[in-house]
Structure 1
Amino acid sequence: MALINSRVTTDILHYRPRRLRSTASLRRMVRETTLSVNDLIYPMFVTESEGQKVEIVSMPECYRYSLDLLLQEVQQAFNLGINAVALFPVIPEQQKDDMARESYNPDGLIQRTIKAIKQAVPEIVVITDIALDPFTTHGHDGLVDEKGIILNDPTVEVLVKMAISQATAGATFVAPSDMMDGRVGAIRQALDTAGYFDVGILAYSAKYASAYYGPFRDALDSAPKFGDKKTYQMDAANAREALKEVDLDIAEGADIVMVKPALAYLDIIHQVRNATQLPIAAYNVSGEYAMIKAAAQMGWIDEKQIILETLTSMKRAGADLILTYFAKEVALMLA
């Protein structure tokens, strides 16, 4: 086919961006954002009993592990180069109560799990969840009064006990995910007073009241029995409020701040990146995971490419760390 006006085109185009896209080698050389196994944190669900590996229906290829099998999974993850795991316990109904007393039981499931992991894989970073919803009969992240109101300050008192219990068990980071006001400062003061100066706080600083959490609540059987979580988790429409929450958590002693969910909140990650020099984590949550898995099972998408593109978008927005149920898959792909 004859070229049309080629001389005119050549005269006008002094710079051709496509030059830097012409080969795979060139594209790798000028790539602005790189996803690494070092960016990944692997969220894991632990349950009582032995020899149990139960798939979560709404999260294909994600499992509730009994402690013996969880240790094997943690070792495999560490062998793949994943440096950190985040633990979430499945608590039997008979151990739940309105005061979440099991959350700070020194012999509780999560405390035993921390100890076992640190003994089996001493170098791995263990991040523990600080919230009451797995431990309460009502499924809320805080204590509740007779009118159904979530109580802030009494909840923080329990969260402090929970954090100290997990630090005593050997947690590297405690991660308050409850969104109660003032909990980061109270936890930091309590940790320091108890001598746990080196235990860090990964704060769920901008955690939104999101519909993307459904499969996670199935995994832990922790959905609220009444109402919703909108009086403490953030309004999905707000951005400036996220920066205020981040500022407060930093002032109270957070070592890492987090935005949750990630994919629908890339703009928030970017704004937080511009507002702080602290490391930023993003949580690639269960709903995001489930949608990709479901579309892949239907044959509608290239699963591996979608996973890499999705996580790279979080890095590009400004996240330093990504909590993702795809962690092992991504580690294998990157290897």
Structure 2
Amino acid sequence: MGKTSIFKYTFEELETLLVEQGFNKFSAKQVFDWIYVKFETDFNNMTNLSKSLREFLSENYEAKPLNDLVVKESKDGTIKILFMLDDSRTIETVLMPQKYGQSVCVTTQVGCKMACKFCASGLIKTERNLESDEIVRQIFTMNKLLREKFKDDPENPSARVSHIVVMGIGEPMDNFENVMKFVNIVNDPKGFGIGARHITISTCGVVPKIKEFADLKTQINLAISLHASNNEVRNSMMPINRAFPIEKLLDSIRYYIDSTNRRVTFEYILIDDVNDRPEHAVELAKLIRGINGYVNLIPYNEVEENPYRKSNRIDEFFKILKKQGINAIVRKEFGADIDAACGQLRAKREGVLKNEI
């Protein structure tokens, strides 16, 4: 059998494991510090651990970053990496420099069974969920990249990941347990210490899991991939809407807001002549009015293999929402020159999309 990834353990789990093996309880904090603060991956170099603990960890565990197959850097500073997992499957992770810090978009599944018509991720069927350590390793690897990038200025706030969006390949709520364990690990102040309010989980509308998430009463942000103002349009783009139509989705969102007293983000990709007409903007305003949330309007990153095209009505749509009293922003485009849209790079490697990597 292969070694177990140390990244799968929360601090409490590692503490319990080490105590059960006869080691000092405090050793868990030392191990976390070496891995998540110092980014050390060789247990033998963890000099303040006892020799017997270093030997135990080296014999049974590993702290491997992910293997990068393709690294692309955009002229806007966005970095997209195609990673190979230990079983040779591939995933994508994107680093997006923001004014407020370094934001990373992580993947939670190999493929996506939600099959949203506009998304490159849905072009490849789901093969499996990612384990929690495979999601953690995305952040760890991006942090190592930033550490190298800012090696001459290690105290620079930009030298570490500060924000996480769980919006990559896959539906996070379809891998709920592993995603929440990942959040526990990266949020832990003894580890990366990324604040809950700096973490956003996006879902296309898995209603039962939204309610389960609400019951946890965390400070983690929730984003809803809405993308339509009525069931007819949403059914045409997002198969999940047939199981959980807009009415049920909005009920779960209201439940979340009532339970957590936190607002939600409505993500809305504007697609030419599908969901971007003035009447859609008015209908959207009516649909979400009174809900504690705002709309994130997203310019569409085109995928040649589907018929959808980028809208030229973005400003008009935004102005209508504002006139209707709806809080809205237009998301900045990242990495348009490096296949930064969700799933594009992986789909090209798998031969589902045209063009070479």
Q: TM-score under structure 2 normalisation?
A: 0.38
More contact order relative to length (CA 8 Å, sep ≥ 6): 1
More helix per residue = 1
